[in-house]
Amino acid sequence: MFNLLRLPPEVISHIIGCCSIHDLVTLCRVSKAIQVFSTRTLYRDLSFNKVSLLLKCCRALIKRELSANSVRSFRIELNDLGYPLFAFYRILENALRLSSKLQDLRIDNSEFGFQLILSACHFPCLFYFQTRLRMISSLTEFIYRHSSTITGLHLDGELLEHLSFLPEPVNLPLLTSFSGNPVFVHYIQQEQPKLCSVKFSALETLTLTDTEASNVVNHLREIAGESLECVSVIGSACSDPLPKYIAKYLNSLRNLGFVHLNTLVNEMEPYIFSAEDLCEDVKLLLPEFQQLERLILNHVPFGECHTGLSVPDSHKFVTDFHTLCPKLKVVLLPNKNGWHRCYLPESGPSNVWMPDSLEDIDIDDALWLFDMLFTEGKKDPSCIGKVIVSATKMYLEEVDHERRINDNPNVDNTE
């Protein structure tokens, strides 16, 4: 009989890591040796949306040291929290305090009781922290205690402006990524710039005044400087204050993302802000970003309105973007419509843009791509001719193969 324990420990861990939660629970009862491996996997990444499951797991962590030491990620997103008793927070606090090797903590609830839990906890290995808790002194103190290890921070809570005093900024020397409420940028300090990625993903982004947006971006420029490479922002349009000031003060970015929330409504009917509108809006900002290499655009449409771009329209916007930003290499348009700039043998990047996927391209689109490539080939036939032929052949073969499979399910699909 094959003995699993004869395998190297890393192989055993990999095998057990492929098991379902039900199987892991069963493996815990096989033997003490197997129990160690299965427990480490079972408790490594914990996520809860129900109070009963959270309490049951917390009691197991308190009871068994091995379980608590196995926790690396802990996420709380409770849908049925209601009005919990003090005992609930006490059990959760005891479980977290025993999870000394925790690396990733996410609390997606805003109840004040979680602030009290954080006041009593310290995790020496914590590198990512995410929360919707309000920004008060207990939260900034928790961040301060972990300032020497945190590299990623997501703060999506509220700032209580009626407080008699505001929390002090925290020096986070290792922080490389921040996301959430833009106003919380003011509570980040760095002596040596390390921050390279910022995502303003909170709905508070929509309500920023012109002065607030200017202050946020200016502070971001002061603490990050040239280290900042990527910024993403949601909004009601790219003409909002925040995108405008990003274009004005952070024009050395290499990666830029805009997500438009298409939920503006008036008294009579929804205002439909289409993908075309978004692209035209973005074109007004792009001249400032001469170092830009990657542009990502998306929008959340209202209702079931269809606002996708055709292949010819997509190509036109992408080439317009490239004209404004000469170093642009990758563009992702709404509805996961990705385009990349082709590289030619021995000559580097070209001015030819091709879609990333053939999934939604039909014969008409393929023929349009052929015409486009043929037109580009006329401009520089010496270096692009072979690439045009091979690329077009590949596209037509794949499209034709997909069509034959759809027409005849019995076609061999092994090639």
Q: What is the pLDDT of residues 368-400, one digit of tens each?
A: 887 887 777 666 665 555 555 555 555 566 556
Q: How far apart are CA 88 and CA 225, in angstroms?
A: 44
Q: How far apart are CA 75 and CA 334, in angstroms?
A: 30
Q: Give me the chain's average pLDDT, please.
A: 83
**Structural domain count of the chain:** 3
Q: Give yes or no: residues 162 and 213 share one domain.
A: yes
Q: Give yes or no: residues 127 and 208 share one domain.
A: yes
Q: What is the pLDDT of residues 90-107, one digit of tens each?
A: 999 999 999 999 999 999
Q: How far apart are CA 60 and CA 349, in angstroms?
A: 57
Q: Give the confidence band of 412 by pLDDT, cuts at 50, 70, 90.
A: very low
Q: How many CB atoms lie within 10 A of CB 194?
A: 17
Res 273 pLDDT > 80: no
Q: Give yes or no: residues 64 and 92 share one domain.
A: yes
Q: Give yes or no: residues 178 and 321 share one domain.
A: yes
CB 74 within 8 A of CB 46: yes
The answer to whether residue 169 is domain-embedded is yes
Q: Which domain holds residue 102?
A: 47-338
For range 101-124, the mean pLDDT: 93
Q: Give yes or no: residues 137 and 109 share one domain.
A: yes
131-135, 201-205, 319-323: least confidently modelled range: 201-205
Q: How far apart are CA 242 and CA 203, in angstroms?
A: 13
Residue with the larger pLDDT of the pair 93 and 299? 93
Q: Give yes or no: residues 289 and 391 share one domain.
A: no
Residue 387, pLDDT score: 55
By CB atoms closer than 10 A (0-12, 13-18, 19+), residue 221 is: middle
**Orientation of helix 311-324 relative to helix 363-379, angle to 10°:** 30
Q: How far apart are CA 86 and CA 134, in angstroms?
A: 19
Q: How far apart are CA 98 and CA 384, in angstroms?
A: 62
The answer to whether residue 349 is domain-embedded is no
Q: Give yes or no: residues 36 and 56 share one domain.
A: no
CB 361 within 8 A of CB 370: no
For range 352-367, the mean pLDDT: 78
Q: Give yes or no: residues 135 and 1 share one domain.
A: no
The answer to whether residue 347 is domain-embedded is no
For range 156-178, the mean pLDDT: 79
Res 158 pLDDT > 50: yes
Q: Give yes or no: residues 180 and 95 share one domain.
A: yes
145-149, 239-243, 265-269, 313-317: least confidently modelled range: 265-269
